[in-house]
Structure 1
Amino acid sequence: MNPHSDTLTTADGRTALRMERRLAHPPRKVWSAITDPAQIGQWFPSDVSVELEPGGAMTFTMPGVTGLPMTGRVTDVDEPRLFAFTWGEDHLSWEIAPDGDGSLLTLVHTFGDRFGSASFASGWHLCITALSQLLDGEPTAVDPDTGELHEAYLDQFDLGRGTVEHTADGPRIRFERQLVRPAAAVWAALTSGDEPVPGEEAPRGFTAEKVPAGPVLEVRAPTLLAYRWHPEGTVRWELGAGTGHGARLVLTQTGPHAFDADTALAAWHARIDHLAARLLEA
């Protein structure tokens, strides 16, 4: 079950995650496991109903989730080579090729949320592990990711980098990162019991090296903190819903034209990496 390759490409606002796995079973057996709803539900992240023909309707029902199921549409059926479909706004393509006495399974998942890529990759990694167990005739028992697999994919795909935008008002630094713990746990790690108060100095956890603390401008625990680090600059932490694996962090810093944005960018990169590592221990 070692991957031949896991790659990520982004173009025109869409990201494609490509994952390859060798399975020790012939293509027709793999085909049945990825198209038969009775088998899909044993390894896929939802129960599925499908009209197995181009244009056929699909529904995806998540265990324990109430409300209307998500829907999709079959885009390709070429037994036993290719099965592809939409899932909401995403597109999934499963290609099966003979490989000796087994098969090479290639998944291409195309989606809009690039910063969710590590969540999707770690999730599919576990799903395909369960698929392999099913094909082997074993119980599909896969331990959930506690965060280490997610962070390994985040590093592999280099998703921790921030950007510097040069605006008319000065540089603007921005980081977006999917975290592996919910907002309340992230907030607790950032505050360490020192709850921020408007007008008072921001707790140290919300600062980075060479980015001094300053008065809190806005706080809404556990999802928002903004403070002024310079008369002409602010730092803003926001913790949103993300992919469901944990909170989605968006951090921005603005400042005067003269401030060293590259140094601050490196400092925030180190600070957020340290936060992510601490969350793995929580």
Structure 2
Amino acid sequence: MNMNPHDDSVTTTDGRTALRMERRLAHPPETVWAAITDPAALGHWFPSEVTVELTPGGKMGFHFPGDSGPGMTGTVTDVDKPRLFAFTWGTDHLSWSITPDGDGSLLTLVHTFGDRAGAASFASGWHLCISALSRLLDGNPVDAGPDAGELHESYAERFGLGRGTVETVDGGKRIRFERQLVRPAETVWAALSAGIEPVAGLPVPEGFTTDRAPAGPVTEVRAPTSLTYVWRSEGTVRWELREGTGHGARLFLTQTGPEDPENFDTDAALAAWQTRIERLAKGLLTA
């Protein structure tokens, strides 16, 4: 079975991101169809327990084992046995298409969602799920264990999710990064502070800085979720760690500065921060 993550892609249009994953399975379409529509089979490889009324407009329910809440709901949007099964899951849409491929099948998933920064989490999760589906169809043990982070990071690199943006704001420019990480906020904070807890009015620990943002004093700190400091007298740098996709903390980093490129070289700052964040993400794999 081809499970090369480099065959996968994401596209974003009008704020909605579509993740496309294509895999060859060594089983005919009818066999694959049963495995992706029968709740008993889904329970072995899909990320949640599923109930489904297998008809367009039918109701779906998603419930994670051990979760005492009501679970999530969805609606079947397409049923064309054994070629197409599609449904909503909350605000997301998932389309599973099956085409004959020699003596096997080509399974294509298109997952459409609103959180582009979460694309690596979704891709790594589906990668593992479809691998489990393949093993189930082959009659092999299904559980391969969770991703320790390496698969997530390979998708983040593949999809270019480490890039920042530059925005024009009142009085100047703002650099912004949003990056899903693979460890919780407490672990990320420990990696950034390296044992030197930030204190308002004191110098910033080196882990929160780059050479493109000469650091002034800390102005606000709420460990382990946020830190703000002045750089020179032109602007601020702010780190925030919020909830993400469930893989770890979501990092939001912003740097504000003057509009004058001689005093705020945004291209150089973008490159410096991307290098810093990628070094952090790589280091977290062993944390």
Category of TM-score, reference length = shorter chain: over 0.9
Measured in 1, the distance between the counterparts of 2:113 and 2:73 equals 15
Which moves more between the two structures, 220-229 or 206-215?
Answer: 206-215
Give the counterpart of 1:144 among 143, 146, 165: 146
After superposition, residues 140-179 of structure 1 pair within 5 angstroms as 140-179=142-181
Q: Deviations over 1:6-27 (max 9, x none)?
A: 1110001100000000000000
Deviates most, 166-175 or 142-151: 166-175
Q: Mapping of 1:192-211 within 5 angstroms? A: 192-211=194-213
2:3–2:127 CA contact under 8 A, matched in 1: no
Aligned length, in residue pairs: 282
Shift, 1:275, TM fit: 0.4
- Between the aligned residues of both structures, percent identity stands at 71
TM-score (norm 1): 0.98
Which of 134, 137, 160 aligns to 1:135? It is: 137
Q: TM-score, normalised by structure 2?
A: 0.96
User: Matches of 1:192 and 1:97 in 2, distance apart?
Assistant: 52
Aligned residues: CA RMSD: 0.9
**Alpha-carbon offset, residue 166 of structure 1:** 2.4
Instruction: State how far apart, in whole Å, the 1-side matches of 2:12 and 2:53 are.
Output: 31
The 5 A counterparts of 1:32-43 are: 32-43=34-45
Q: Which amino acid aligns with 2:2?
A: N
SS in 2 for 1:210: coil
1:213 and 1:229 in contact (8 A); partners too: yes
Name the amino acid aligned to 1:2: N
- AA of the residue aligned to 2:272: A
| Alignment-derived partner of residue 243 in structure 2 | 241
1:203 and 1:213 in contact (8 A); partners too: no
From 196, 212, 215, the equivalent of 2:214 is 212
5+ long unaligned stretches in structure 2: none
How far off its partner does 1:265 sit?
Answer: 0.9
**Could you say what secondary structure the match of 2:142 adopts?**
coil
- Counterpart CA distance in 2 for 1:261 and 1:83 is 46
List per-residue Cα deviations over 1:10-62 (Å, max 9, x = no partner): 00110000000000000000000000000001000000000000000000001
My pick for the range that moved more, 251-260 or 173-182, is 251-260
| Structure 1 partner of 2:84 | 82
Aligned ranges 1:220-235 → 2 under 5 Å = 220-235=222-237
Q: CA deviation at 1:66?
A: 1.9
For residues 149 and 189 of structure 1, what CA distance do their matches in structure 2 show?
21
